Structure 1
Amino acid sequence: GIIVGKNKWINLLRKNPLMRAVRCDKTTFAILTWILQNYISTDPIPDIETYSLFTSSVKELRNRAQNIVSKVPKNICNFLGISIRDSKTEAGSGSMPTETIPSIAIVMSPKQISEAKLAKLFRLNNPPIIGYCKNGEFYLDLKAICKDDSNLLTKAIIRVGSNICEKS
């Protein structure tokens, strides 16, 4: 992290023996410089994927979800009980651990297998797809999925759904 404060406190920290162990090297400063330059540029979104994900509008996420689901065969949508719903996600524990961000999720409510089993099948996919289980349903929140990965997600839903359908 970065420590900011009054000279009095910064000087005290500099005298601490641990300072030698946690000081930044040239690589850390180079990366930090790149990040800060991107944040203060006029359009940081293309370069900082996390920023882009967090600032995606609900409308944009809903359109992406509809596009993904529209490519999944109807029999798989029905079999997995796929729906698109409003959701709330968290940015992480950091400085705002209880704050939520409006989002959109592709939700699956399969009748033939448990949501935990479905989550496991998605984790075993290549590449692994990580969602969460809630109230007997499996959620794939689009705030956590890069735009460029939409096709991978579509293929994973089709693959997992097809495998379950074949075994039923």
Structure 2
Amino acid sequence: MTAAQADHARAPSDFLEMPEGLKLDTPRVEDGAAIWRIARDSGTLDLNSSYSYLLWCRDFASTSVVARSADGTPVGFITGYIRPEDPTTLLIWQVAVDEVARGRGLAAAMLDGLSRRVAEELGTQGIETTVTPDNTASNRLFTSYARRHGAEAKKEVLFDAGAFPGSGHQPEVLYRIGPVAFSSATRR
């Protein structure tokens, strides 16, 4: 990402109204450890190695977002990437909000802000994500996202439980949401 792209990614006009005291930003490598901690403490995400979060902040910053408190500390994040086989689709990898910032609509604000920014910069028209059936918060987040943007949400099992090594992993249900329409009401 060039410096100009980074400045654009951080422009507050690109994002929804944020909960008071929080702002959206592009993740930086130095955010990797905090993002790893938020993922670990979420209690619902499959935790990746700390190294992978550092790489994510370096290589996929333009398709990811971090929410910062007033002092600049990360309190939430979304990691995403453009699907190589479908460059019109932003794949949302992980969404997490630190316990101190939960219950304020931050996950929805991050998702709206990120998807709008990536659509404007890279021309995406929809998003995909996977969610396990028992993850009520994520199922609600993506269902309400589709409704808010007047988009169709198609669901199908992408990976059944047997695809994972060992036992105990639920199936991953693929959400395909799009095309996404951004109205002036979803802007700040």
Report TM bin, short chain. under 0.3
TM normalised by structure 2 equals 0.24
State which structure, 1 or 2, has the greater radius of gyration over its C-alpha atoms.
Answer: 1
**Which structure dedicates a bigger proportion of its chain to strand?**
2
TM normalised by structure 1 equals 0.26
